[in-house]
Amino acid sequence: MSAIAAALGVSAATVSNALSGKGRVSPELIEKVRSKASELGYVPSLTARALRTGRTGVLGLVLPDIANPLFPQIAQAIENAASNAGYGVLIADSRGDIAAQTEAIGRLLERGVDGMVIVPRRGTRIADVGCPVAVIDTPSTPGNTVAADHWEGGAQMGRHLAALGHAKVLLIGTSVSSNVQNDRIGGLKAGLGARVECDTMWIERVEAVSGEGCPLGLAEKAAAGFTAFAAVSDLSALRALTELQRAGIGVPEMVSVTGFDDLIWSAVVTPALTTVRMDMAVIADLAIAALIRVIESEGEEEEAAGKVTSEIDRVPMQLIVRQSTGAPHADGVPNLHARTPNKPTAGELKP
């Protein structure tokens, strides 16, 4: 309460000026106010400040589905970046539903967020909402701010597999409508090059006919000559890995399996998954920085209200080679070289 600090014999306005360093206050008075404030345990009311200034210091984080295993990485990075910048993070889950997404955005708006970070539902474009917005998706989505370079990540993985000598690889995606997954698959194909034969399996489609959690029939694919299974998400990669292992097909000495995103289990599974990781910390920093830039400059430039449209930042992805990839077997002869113990590779994070 600046009223209490006014027990110094000065006015509340002076206290406010002293603490914020805005107006004209003598240095010695500033010092006295400072010490008195901490003596009294003064903590400013962000609510009142928000009412006066119109800025709450809170950002919204809109997620397509909190249950998504990638979410912890995103949320942690965003929370960290925001809190470093002095902002709080209000979460909103659109639970996969597109109506819920707009409704969640509305609720955040009512709460007076200064801006929001949106990870859009697959295939959704974010219309103009009433506040600065940063979208995290994929560079191929138009009008976005920041994203990992999924295409290039796929290309890295493709080149890795091609270099190992794989000539027939199965690409495994989940949802045809996901921009991110399509980018990754496009990159994979490009990285593999024209000479390697590849086929794409969409889990969503096989589950539509065989039921959820059904076997993907990968043993048959292996028998048909596929030597590498490049999933577009670590969850699918895990599914492939266990299904192959269960069928007695050794990974990586018979076939290779790769994933995407370096999810929590990738490093602890046997064999540890070769995957591609995005640097969420960097992405979050960029998104938050862009958001804050717009927020702070609002008022000075009236025209640029709304979307953060200026630039598309694409953050490179990082290939992490672990134990699940190796050279393809030559006529059933297992690649024993790959039977190394499961020790961590350089450049990987702790699980």
Partner DNA sequence: TATTCGTGCTTAAACGTTTAATCAGAGCAT
Partner DNA sequence: ATGCTCTGATTAAACGTTTAAGCACGAATA
Query: Cα separation of 84 and 121, whole Å?
Result: 27
Nearer to DNA, 51 or 264 (CB): 51
- Scanning 36-44, 89-97, 124-132, 156-164 for contacts with DNA by CB under 7 A, the matching segment is 36-44
Could you tell me which residues are beta bridge partners of residue 13? none
- Scanning 23-31, 43-51, 143-151, 184-192 for contacts with its own copies by CB under 8 A, the matching segment is 43-51
User: Residue 317: phi, psi to the nearest 5?
Assistant: -100, 165
Query: Cα separation of 167 and 293, whole Å?
Result: 48
C-beta atoms surrounding 16 within 10 Å? 17
Output the smallest distance, CB 50 to DNA, in A.
9
- Scanning 14-22, 108-116, 153-161, 184-192 for contacts with its own copies by CB under 8 A, the matching segment is 108-116
- Scanning 107-115, 119-127, 146-154, 188-196 for contacts with its own copies by CB under 8 A, the matching segment is 107-115
Q: Is 10 in the site for DNA (CB under 7 A)?
A: yes
Enter the tokens of residue 204. 């969503």
Q: Is 279 in the site for its own copies (CB under 8 A)?
A: no
3-state secondary structure of 211: coil
- Specify burial of residue 302 (Cβ count, 10 A radius: 0-12, 13-18, 19+): exposed
Q: Is 209 in the site for its own copies (CB under 8 A)?
A: no
Nearer to its own copies, 108 or 196 (CB): 108
Query: Cα separation of 304 and 290, whole Å?
Result: 13
Select the residue interacting with its own copies from 4, 16, 29, 68 (CB under 8 A): 68
Q: Is 23 in the site for its own copies (CB under 8 A)?
A: no
Q: Is 16 in the site for DNA (CB under 7 A)?
A: yes
Q: Is 84 in the site for its own copies (CB under 8 A)?
A: no
Nearer to DNA, 25 or 291 (CB): 25
Enter the tokens of residue 48. 């009142």
3-state secondary structure of 197: strand
Q: Chain centroid to CA 41: how far? A: 39
Output the smallest distance, CB 296 to DNA, in A.
12
Nearer to DNA, 25 or 240 (CB): 25
Q: Are strands 317-320 and 168-173 parallel, antiparallel or unpaired?
A: unpaired
Nearer to its own copies, 90 or 304 (CB): 90
Q: Are 78 and 284 in contact (CB under 8 A)?
A: yes
HEC sequence for 287-306: HHHHHHHHHHHECCECCCCC
Query: From residue 293, how far is each of 8, 45, 56, 167 by CA, in Å?
Result: 37, 24, 15, 48
Nearer to its own copies, 1 or 48 (CB): 48
Q: Are 94 and 62 in contact (CB under 8 A)?
A: yes
Which option in DNA, its own copies, none does residue 310 bind, with CB closer than 5 to 8 A by kind?
A: none
Number of residues interacting with its own copies: please give it, by CB under 8 A. Answer: 65
Q: Is 91 in the site for its own copies (CB under 8 A)?
A: yes
Q: Is 110 in the site for DNA (CB under 7 A)?
A: no
Question: What per-residue string of b and e applies to 97-121 under the rule 16 or more CB within 10 Å gives b?
Answer: eeeebbebbeebeeebbbbbbbbbb
Query: Cα separation of 270 and 232, whole Å?
Result: 19
Nearer to its own copies, 113 or 185 (CB): 113
Mark 40-59 with x for binding to DNA (rule: CB under 7 A) and - for no binding: --xxxx-xxx-xxx------
Q: Is 7 in the site for DNA (CB under 7 A)?
A: no
Please report, as ranges, the residues that interact with its own copies according to CB under 8 A. 43-48, 50-51, 56-58, 61, 66-69, 71-73, 75-76, 79-80, 83, 88-93, 95, 107-108, 110-112, 211-215, 235, 238-239, 241-243, 245-246, 250-251, 264-265, 267-272, 341-344, 350-351
